[in-house]
A and B are shown apart, each in its own frame.
Chain A
Amino acid sequence: MAGVATSGRQRSRIAPYLMILPALAYLAIFFVIPFWSLFRTSLSTSGGSVYLPTLTFAWDFGNYAEAFTTYQEQIFRSLGYALTATVVCLLISYPLAYVIAFKSGRFKSLLLGLVILPFFVTFLIRTLAWKTILADDGVVVSALGSIGLLPEEGRLLSTSWAVIGGLIYNWVIFMILPLYVSLEKIDARLLEASRDLYSSSFRAFRKVILPLSMPGVIAGSMLVFIPAVGDFINADYLGSTQTTMIGNVIQKQFLVVKDYPAAAALSFMLMALILAGVLSYTKALGTEDLV
């Protein structure tokens, strides 16, 4: 691949930097500064008046220890929910993306349109609709009950499965699209070649399609896992007191308890955990493309 401009002209050397300047400025204003501010808050002690506390930066790592011991249950629950949602999204999306990419023929655009269609409806409405669908007196619960398939609690709403289901439903599109994109660009002639070499369909899938679609798998997994782990809307609407996620805790700490250092420490811990997870995941799957 050609590098940056090879000519010695000053202008063309500066041009790329000028072009990324708006993005850099955006990143500085909306990411670096808030990030730094949040970091300082997480290590501060709050004092002064109760309602307008003054935060004093104090390297107070105790905030982290305390937040972790108090809310580790919610942290691990969030990771578990997000992981489950990501795996299920992958299992749902892969065959779907495969069919759209390779088998849909002239219906490709239509199928893609249908995948995207529900997401024209706002997130909140879609989540609230699930609340109606899964209601204790609703059709789904009574139908499952009559064939004896109801879980132990005798309900669907306000269970872990409702929350995980909400996460899957709301984020699945972020798995389908990257998978589709990576599958769709696979050169069909590679499959022909594998057949010419007497490969079985399964072997062709395992040796050709799966490795080539790996960037899509990784991208999709991250796009689902990262937002899902910090989500609080699904746990709020579809969950119960037994299913609170770390996003709910952070929201409550910021808005009700107003313990900003604890909330900031929780946010940072969550970020660190996500980063560690994503790095080990990409390392394990061996794509240097993404990190």
Chain B
Amino acid sequence: MPTPHDIDPRRPAHLATNRASRRRFLGGGAAAAAALVLGPSFLTACGSDSGSGSTDTAPPDDGSPATGTLRISNWPYYMADGFVAAFQTASGLTVDYKEDFNDNEEWFAKFKEPLSRKQDIGADLVIPSEFMAARLMNLGWLNEISEERVPNKKNLRTDLVDAAIDPGRKFLAPYMSGMVGIAYNKAATGRPITSLDDLWDPAFRGQVSLLSDMQDGLGLVMLAQGSSLDDPSIESIQKAVDLIREHKDSGQIRRFTGNDYGDDLAAGNVVIAQAYSGDVVQLQADNPDLEFVVPDSGGTWFIDNQVIPYTTQNQKGAEAWIDYVYDRPNYAKLVAATQFVPVLSDMTDELAKIDPAIAGNPLVNPPSDVLAKLHAWPALSDEQTQEFNAAYATITGG
């Protein structure tokens, strides 16, 4: 390679072109590329080699009111405008509210190491789904919620208090419940959707999305196959997985989604999707053609729970929050905004005060024929969850 004898003065200084500097440039690029490829290794390294430390600072109970800052980590679109501000005014607490809880399993993968070492995870109150909340409880990573400091707990629906998963709801405080069913774009389907088999209609090829969460994704399919959710076996799981795989391979299923199915649905890329009830009401604002239905063969319940990790820095603040949420007039504002099914009993009057239409909305207040079609997953053992997750992930992740 010939060496230039003199440097061209017009050469831009910011892109120095001698061999040595290009090599440096390349080296940096290669290192960046390696870091990209090696990304997961950092995760493992951090996971297995870090030291231990405890930052348990839960204050002893001296009967004083909650003070300071409360850090809440919640799902996106799960809050009413002005609610946090109203709580701050009422309680005198400062709330650091983050919508950074996006996926149960990913959240768990991120925080299980610090939690196992009892290190602060940057949140004093978290709102995972029921199965994840139960997992955290069984691992001993949750603080009990004081009955005394949450007197409004008496407003909980009785069917929720009697949960087999956490008798008396000592650790898991339900935040919102809702239905997993089918959302569809009636203008695009051209007909009402009633059955889960409609997902496999060749007319909708490439315009169907399924939920990647194991329970939410497989539940509806298993019910449509006549499998019971009461005591799910790996055979019934596998049967549902096989059916979904067939439709994935044929190109029927466009995507497996988390909470992000709404964008594709509202934009018209997907015309029929597994969906969460309240989301659809919110999405109707963008696209009035969207409808939510619980299929004939059945839908499932989900419950998201407020839990206090044992690494919390503000136990009393978290309890004050839960008590505030469990006050019916306050809770009515949350339900009106999220349009999910209330976890408190006798909400009709309070909802009607905000908007009579909400009180009568079948998605917020499901009629008895819909309630009869809804099933709930039982508490699965750790081994079951892992086995079922792995079975479903073979198609959602590849």
Residues of A that sit less than 8 Å from B by CB: 30-31, 33-35, 37-38, 41, 49-52, 55, 70-71, 73-74, 108-109, 112, 131-132, 135-137, 153-155, 157-158, 174, 177-178, 180-182, 184-185, 187, 190, 212, 215, 219, 222-223, 226-227, 230, 240-242, 244, 248-260, 263-264, 267, 270-271, 274, 289-290
Contact = CB atoms under 8 A, between A and B. Distances in A.
A241 B2 contact: no
A35 B38 contact: yes
A70 B268 contact: no
Nearest to A258: B109
B397 A187 contact: no
Contact of A256 (B19, B34, B106, B268): B106
B191 interface: no
A155 B248 CA distance: 17
A195 B271 CA distance: 63
Nearest to A185: B17
Contacts of A271: 37-38
B268 A267 contact: no
Contacts of B1: 212
Interface of B: 1-2, 4-5, 10-12, 15, 17-19, 22-23, 25-26, 29-38, 40-45, 48-49, 105-106, 108-110, 112, 116, 135, 139, 206-207, 212, 248, 251, 253-256, 263, 267-269, 382-383, 385-386, 389-390, 393-398
Prevailing SS type, chain B contact patch: helix
Contacts of B398: 70-71, 73-74, 244, 248-249, 252
A181 B15 contact: yes
A201 to B, nearest CB: 20
A31 B34 contact: yes
B38 A252 contact: no
B150 to A, nearest CB: 28
Contacts of A50: 382-383, 385-386
Contacts of A249: 397-398
Prevailing SS type, chain A contact patch: helix
B393 A34 contact: no
Given A51-B139, A109-B12, A181-B17, A240 B206 contact: yes
Contacts of A267: 37-38, 40-41
B33 A226 contact: yes
A155 B362 CA distance: 35
A240 B251 CA distance: 9
B25 A178 contact: yes
15 contacts: A51-B382, A112-B15, A136-B269, A155-B206, A222-B29, A226-B34, A240-B255, A241-B248, A241-B256, A249-B398, A254-B43, A256-B212, A264-B40, A267-B37, A267-B41
Contacts of B108: 51
A211 to B, nearest CB: 9
Nearest to A236: B255
By CB atoms of chain B within 10 A, which of A240, A251, A256 has the most? A256
Given A251-B397, A252-B393, 4 more contacts: A33-B45, A34-B42, A49-B382, A135-B268
B17 to A, nearest CB: 4
Nearest to A267: B40
B35 A41 contact: no
Given A31-B34, A34-B38, A135-B268, A260 B382 contact: no
A230 B39 CA distance: 10
Contact of A257 (B42, B267, B268, B390): B390
Contacts of B382: 49-51
B251 A38 contact: no
Contacts of B30: 222-223, 226
Nearest to B251: A242
Contacts of A187: 2, 4-5
Contacts of B383: 50
A154 B37 CA distance: 34
A181 B15 CA distance: 7
Contact of A37 (B45, B116, B251): B45
Given A241-B248, A244-B397, A158 B269 contact: yes
B34 A260 contact: no
Nearest to A254: B40
Nearest to A244: B398
Contacts of A212: 1-2
A241 B255 contact: yes
A253 B19 CA distance: 41
A219 B19 CA distance: 12
A158 B325 CA distance: 41
A50 B390 CA distance: 12
Nearest to B21: A181
Nearest to A71: B398
Contacts of A109: 12
Given A178-B25, A241-B248, A274-B37, A185 B269 contact: no
Nearest to B396: A252
Contact of B37 (A51, A223, A270): A270
A31 B33 CA distance: 12
Contacts of A158: 206, 254-255, 269
A30 to B, nearest CB: 7
A137 to B, nearest CB: 4
